[in-house]
């Protein structure tokens, strides 16, 4: 009777594929809804007045759904939903502020119309007058007496003096400059009258008792 030798056990195969249960697909419904709401919000944000409430509501919901999607790792849809939600809110706020500012400025512009009319009337009254510039110089301290027709004014100055007035055509301008008597004979003084930027009369003097006079008749 023959005896069969024992058969050695078969070694386990290396590299055999291991099969597990398939992973269920992630549910990204909130992120998808947020993406759609974000697009709607951005579109309505550019529609004046009636689109702004829709844009803000849709933007807030899109932002909320996007944040939830990011927490649940929904990927690109969640990120896009968040960005579009923020964009819709920001654009709607900027548009609302701009329209409100424009609407507020309309009454201000209307209220300024009477003032503009008054300015125009004042400008018409001043039309035809001429700009008269009176100038005086002295080596030290000086005194200038200037007049418009029959009225006269006296002013003290040191070095240089300038006065600008508006005068109607036909007026007479006079300027007289004297120096400081105590300063001696070395001092000098000058005067000048310009009408609309054009020099019409100049004068000069010197000495302790000297003076300079300028007169323009019929400006």
List pLDDT tens digits, range 72-127: 888 888 899 999 999 999 998 898 888 878 877 776 665 655 544 444 444 434 56
Q: Tally the residues of the chain.
A: 219
Report the percentage of the chain scoring pLDDT > 70.
78
pLDDT at 75: 84
Q: How many angstroms separate the CA atoms of 66 and 135, rounded?
A: 76
For the ranges 5-9, 12-16, 27-31, 91-95, the lowest mean pLDDT is seen at 12-16
Q: What is the pLDDT of residues 143-193, one digit of tens each?
A: 999 999 888 999 999 999 999 999 988 889 999 999 887 777 888 999 999
| Residue 217 near residue 172 (C-beta atoms within 8 A) | yes
H runs (alpha helix) in 51-126: 51-71, 76-111, 113-126
pTM for the whole structure: 0.43
pLDDT band at residue 199 under the 50/70/90 scheme: very high
- For the chain, domains (ranges, CATH) are 29-109 (no CATH), 128-216 (2.60.60)
Q: Are strands 211-216 and 130-148 parallel, antiparallel or unpaired?
A: unpaired
Report phi then psi at 75, rounded to 5.
85, -140
Name residue 207's beta-bridge partners.
Answer: none
pLDDT at 117: 47
pLDDT band at residue 195 under the 50/70/90 scheme: very high
C-beta contacts of 119-124 below 8 A and 24+ residues apart: none
């Amino acid at each position: 009777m023959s005896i069969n030798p024992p058969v050695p056990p078969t070694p386990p195969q290396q590299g055999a594929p291991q099969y597990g249960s398939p992973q269920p697909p992630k549910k990204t419904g909130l992120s998808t809804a947020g993406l759609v709401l974000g697009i709607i919000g951005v579109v309505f944000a550019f529609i004046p007045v009636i689109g702004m409430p829709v844009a803000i509501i849709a933007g807030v919901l899109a932002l909320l759904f996007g944040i939830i999607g990011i927490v649940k790792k929904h990927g690109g849809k969640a990120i896009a939903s968040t960005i579009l939600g923020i964009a819709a809110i920001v654009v709607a706020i900027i548009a609302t502020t701009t329209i409100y500012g424009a609407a507020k400025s309309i009454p201000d512009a209307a209220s300024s119309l009477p003032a503009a009319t008054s300015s125009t009337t004042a400008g018409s009254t001043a039309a035809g007058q001429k700009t008269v510039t009176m100038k005086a110089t002295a080596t030290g301290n000086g005194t200038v007496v200037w007049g418009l027709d029959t009225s006269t004014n006296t002013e003290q100055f040191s070095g240089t003096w300038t006065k600008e007035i508006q005068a109607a055509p036909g007026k007479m301008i006079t300027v007289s400059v004297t120096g400081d008597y105590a300063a001696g004979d070395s001092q000098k003084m000058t005067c000048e009258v310009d009408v609309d930027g054009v020099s019409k009369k100049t004068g000069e003097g010197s000495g302790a008792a000297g003076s300079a006079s300028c007169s323009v008749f019929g400006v």
